[in-house]
Structure 1
Amino acid sequence: MSTARSLRWRRFKQKTSIAAPQQSNSSAVKHDFAYDLLIMFVRNETVAALTVPILAIFVAATMLNWATEPRQLLLWLATIFITEGILLALCRQFKRQPRETVDLVQWRRNLAAAEFLYGVCWAAVAFTPFVVQSQAAFFFLFAALTVVTAIRMMFAASVMQILHAGTAPVTGALALRFLMTGEPFYWALAVVAVGIHFYFVFLVKNLQRTALSMLDYRAEKDRLIEELERAKAASDEARVRAEAANVAKSKFLANMSHELRTPLNAIMGFSEMIKDEVLGPIDNENYRSYAADIHESGSHLLKLINEILDLSRIEAGRYELTEKPIDVAATALESLRLMRIDAHQKNLRVVTDFRPDMPRIMADERALRQICLNLLSNAIKFTPDSGLIAVRAGILPSGEAVLSVRDNGPGIPEEEISQVLRAFGQGSLALKTGESGTGLGLPIVSGLAELHGGRFELRSKLGVGTEASLILPKARVLPAVPQPRKPAPAPQPAATAEAVPYLMRGAA
């Protein structure tokens, strides 16, 4: 653990040191860290401004028992108060200055000078003459100045220059006083005092390493926070631009689709008149065939334009819902009747599973019909000949309404599901088989589901089939009202017995 800490310390020293190796440790850090270390000393000094003066009063009061000159102690106490006041005044003045205008080198010198003067005043008490060479007096002097040294080192732990300026005179004066006694016992105490001083310095250096590491971590944290804020601002700006571009795109598509439908209606109308020979027979069969092709192509183009218009309105938030109670089963059956020719051409079997007491749903009838048609169109398009399509409507255990269309086609690879849900997105199967489509049907279904507060789910498995489900929230399900309803004719012959278990597996 200590090895890792030493490595971090060496890396930090290499990162923060300056070219001149002879400068002190406090000037060997970055400008920002140097200020932080200096402000730590200033705050320590101002917060504990009364600690050392109270200790000085206690020392003076106690040493009156041994001192030969009490007035000398009172004078010493006055100098302590004066030098403490000078140091506090400098600290308060430093705190009031803006960080950007602080001359760190000059202020470090000023505070070190004030601390040195303060330390010299404390050192002066070591030379107080005693009435007798009392061991109690010397022990008290030793203990008092050792405590003062420890306190001053804690206060100045962040700036070694100030620490040495304030504590070296105290320890030096104490050791000199013991050496002046001429007794080996006090010489030993002098050595102990110096040893304690160096041990305190060792501890303080460890504290300073911790303080520097804390500042380094804080600077790294501030840098990361600043980078995150910049990244967030850039992300917000990009999101705003993307949203504006998306709205502009939707408005452009809506306007263009509207403008294109007007001439397209004329093309389709006149081509239909020519195809049906409304104004008279056409002798050339090719002309009738060309007119039919024009009408068919115009119908396809009109369908594409309508889908683009619907999608752009949904994305722009301009698709207005006209809500009323809807019979989901009736809407699904109506959509099946519209698609029955396409299903019959591929000899598809269509089975239905509608809940008998299915409640009505508060929804937009046109939107719900469009959802049914889009889901059925996709199912018919990709289900192989003689395949099976199952249409189900019911209520989930959560109370939500569900309308699903399931087929036993080739399925969609899982990695392509998100692609087919995007506008103009088509899967690999559609590209390989050449099935016509614009890739707008499912995005429109998803958008209409979200407008109703619901969701659209697409589940598929290769070789098994695909199930597309519209799920509407419970709040749109109206209370069930029992009412007789004649069963609608099935679009295809009744489902075979083996088709029902398949449908139930799909529902599960």
Structure 2
Amino acid sequence: MSTGVSTSTDKIIVDKSRSHRNKAVSRTVRATRDRLQIATGVSPGFEREMMQLHVGSVAQSALAIPVVVMLIAAGGVYLTQEIGLVAWAVLALTMHAIGMIVAHRARAREITAENVRRWQRGFLVAQVFMGLAWVAFSLQTCGSCTGVTFDFYKGSALLVALAVTAMSTLMLRHAILCAFLPTVAVLIVLAVLAPAPGTVGMAAIITAAMLFLVFMTHRLRYTSAQLLSSQSEKDDLIAELEVAKSMSDEARRRAEEANLAKSRFLASMSHELRTPLNAILGFSEVMSTEVLGPLNNPIYKEYTSDIHRSGQHLLNLINEILDLSRIEAGKYDLAEDSVHLVDIAEDCIGMVQLRARAKNITISEQVESGMPAVWADEKALRQVILNLLSNAVKFTPQGGEVVVKAGWTAGGGQYVSIKDNGPGIPEEEIPVVLSAFGQGSIAIKSAEQGTGLGLPIVQAILAKHNGEFILKSKLREGTEAIAILPAKRVLESLPAVSETHAVAPRRKSFA
């Protein structure tokens, strides 16, 4: 990836140049949906696909009808010695050629949803011409034949022709009716005019076979339409997945570029802001302590204290943002050592004691004695407990109480609990305050607002220790924050205890 000012600037701009890559896919999705949204019958899209399948079937079975015709003619000449069957064969092959010409033109030209009906009519007309050939065959007579031999021959030949036609025209609606309805009509008329057993039987069998094949081809055609519909639905899903994947890839690319831009910005701000802040903090502390001489105006001394306090607050905010950025980037490494959780908690209580006294807040300590050391990052745990204590003192009203507990968990780990009797947090706002830069309604109304990064940092640090953070709160009753370290972090493991295990904590009270 190239670097440079212009490139870095462009990375935070929404890239709209890739939208054209999805146009073809979106067009396919819309076309497939339009085709699938037709409620009744077969949609024009499916009619077109079925017509293309029919054209392919005609091309593949081009020799089937001529072979059947020649076999029928050869068998008839052999049985009856009637040369007229040869003339009939020439007529049948001519009619079949008409259908092949129509199929050849359909393959040479594109079949669209607009002209599919015209091509259907063309193929049905070709079937009508072929039907005239079968009518001519059904009218064939044999003067030298006796009994029902010739009728059996004609009936068998028509059944074979009917089956072959049904197989080759499965995707063409009404093809069997167009090809054999005239033949059936002629056979019925012959059976009525000359009710011989052979003629009547042949007419009945051909009629029943035609009706059965019409029904079967209709069902098969419907099944084919369902298969085409399923294929279209699959294509639709694949197209939508392609669109979603393309959008996801674009969103991920933009997120990665935005994250890179953020990291560069924070790295730059770390240097650009900390350098002047250190000078501001140093000089303001020198002025407030009057190291170089007294300040004649007491208001100036008050101003220097305000400058130092504000600079320190700004530096803390910058450190929090950088800590969260390092955690998100996976660059927050733990310096683990053997530490005592109770000792860290007591040190943090001492650090916030001055602020608590200013608000007349009592901090009570209830810890279990004899707790072994844990394997953890002391600085990180100090930051966790200090953040939780600071929040408790910040939101506890004048004259309130903060209770700090430390002890064993039921699973053999260790925990620190910090509970206040402040205004509490609404239940629906707990996910908000646990998110980065999230602040609840109580915090927004408070005079001491922060960045909203304290709790997310606490969560992330405990997660790095394979621990857990639990936040419990009720409106007008208070909030309890619990930091838990797992049993594998304890250097002297103890067996798990039940939830109701009674412990005699030692208590301290800081007023």
Please, what TM-score do these two structures have when normalized by structure 2?
0.70
Residue 186 (structure 2) aligns with: 176
The code of the aligned residue for 2:186 comes to: L
Residue 13 (structure 2) aligns with: none
Tell me by how many angstroms 1:441 deviates.
Answer: 0.8
- The 3-state SS of whatever aligns with 1:349 is strand
Tell me by how many angstroms 1:42 deviates.
Answer: 5.6
Segments of 5+ residues of structure 2 without an aligned counterpart are: 1-35, 495-504
1:380 equivalent in alignment to 2:393? yes
Residue 145 (structure 1) aligns with: 158
Residue 394 (structure 1) aligns with: 408
| Matches of 2:95 and 2:462, distance apart in 1 | 79
| Matches of 1:257 and 1:178, distance apart in 2 | 100
- The 3-state SS of whatever aligns with 2:49 is helix
Selected match of 2:79 from 59, 62, 67? 67
1:275 equivalent in alignment to 2:278? no
| Matches of 2:409 and 2:161, distance apart in 1 | 82
| Matches of 1:77 and 1:450, distance apart in 2 | 88
Distance 1:469 1:239, change over 3 A: farther
Distance 1:49 1:317, change over 3 A: farther
The code of the aligned residue for 1:430 comes to: A
Residue pair 1:257, 1:308 contacting (<8 A) in 2 also: no
| Matches of 1:377 and 1:78, distance apart in 2 | 104
Residue 23 (structure 2) aligns with: none
Tell me by how many angstroms 1:413 deviates.
Answer: 0.6
Please, what TM-score do these two structures have when normalized by structure 1?
0.70
- The 5 Å alignment of 1:263-412 reads 263-345=276-358, 346-354=360-368, 356-358=370-372, 360-361=374-375, 363-384=376-397, 385-397=399-411, 402-412=415-425
- The 5 Å alignment of 1:432-471 reads 432-471=445-484
| Matches of 2:339 and 2:424, distance apart in 1 | 31
Residue pair 1:119, 1:170 contacting (<8 A) in 2 also: yes
- The 5 Å alignment of 1:195-234 reads 197=210, 200-201=213-214, 204-205=217-218, 207-209=220-222, 211-212=224-225, 214-216=227-229, 218-234=231-247
Distance 1:92 1:494, change over 3 A: farther
Deviations 1:413-437 (CA, angstroms, capped at 9, x unpaired): 1121122123332211122332342
| Matches of 2:215 and 2:471, distance apart in 1 | 69
The code of the aligned residue for 1:222 comes to: D
Tell me by how many angstroms 1:220 deviates.
Answer: 4.7
Deviations 1:342-401 (CA, angstroms, capped at 9, x unpaired): 33443323233458454623x33322221111112112222343323233343453x666
- The 3-state SS of whatever aligns with 2:425 is coil
Greater relative contact order (CA < 8 Å, ≥ 6 in sequence): 2
Residue 493 (structure 1) aligns with: 509
| Matches of 1:441 and 1:306, distance apart in 2 | 11
The code of the aligned residue for 2:182 comes to: G
Deviations 1:67-93 (CA, angstroms, capped at 9, x unpaired): 323999899999999999999999999
Distance 1:155 1:477, change over 3 A: farther
- The 3-state SS of whatever aligns with 1:262 is helix
Segments of 5+ residues of structure 1 without an aligned counterpart are: 1-7, 17-28, 483-488, 496-508
- The 3-state SS of whatever aligns with 2:423 is coil
Residue 422 (structure 1) aligns with: 435
Deviations 1:221-260 (CA, angstroms, capped at 9, x unpaired): 5334423431332233123313322332243134213321
| Matches of 1:305 and 1:282, distance apart in 2 | 31
Deviations 1:38-90 (CA, angstroms, capped at 9, x unpaired): 344367678999999999899899x7799323999899999999999999999
| Matches of 1:404 and 1:53, distance apart in 2 | 93
Residue pair 1:411, 1:463 contacting (<8 A) in 2 also: yes
Selected match of 2:49 from 15, 36, 39? 36
| Matches of 1:136 and 1:463, distance apart in 2 | 106
The code of the aligned residue for 1:446 comes to: Q
Tell me by how many angstroms 1:279 deviates.
Answer: 1.6
Selected match of 1:244 from 246, 252, 257? 257
Deviations 1:322-357 (CA, angstroms, capped at 9, x unpaired): 334443333333322322333344332323345845
**Stretch deviating more after TM superposition (275-284 or 38-47):** 38-47
| Matches of 1:466 and 1:342, distance apart in 2 | 19
Tell me by how many angstroms 1:212 deviates.
Answer: 3.9
Residue pair 1:340, 1:491 contacting (<8 A) in 2 also: no
Deviations 1:445-472 (CA, angstroms, capped at 9, x unpaired): 2233344455533232223332323445
The code of the aligned residue for 2:472 comes to: R
Residue pair 1:171, 1:193 contacting (<8 A) in 2 also: no
Distance 1:309 1:169, change over 3 A: closer
The code of the aligned residue for 2:402 comes to: L
- The 3-state SS of whatever aligns with 2:469 is strand
| Matches of 2:457 and 2:232, distance apart in 1 | 50
Distance 1:118 1:292, change over 3 A: same
| Matches of 1:81 and 1:192, distance apart in 2 | 25
Deviations 1:274-301 (CA, angstroms, capped at 9, x unpaired): 2111122233222222222222222212
| Matches of 1:95 and 1:401, distance apart in 2 | 80
What number of residue pairs does the alignment pair up? 459
Residue pair 1:145, 1:170 contacting (<8 A) in 2 also: no
| Matches of 2:364 and 2:109, distance apart in 1 | 84
- The 3-state SS of whatever aligns with 1:391 is strand
Residue 504 (structure 1) aligns with: none
| Matches of 2:181 and 2:307, distance apart in 1 | 107
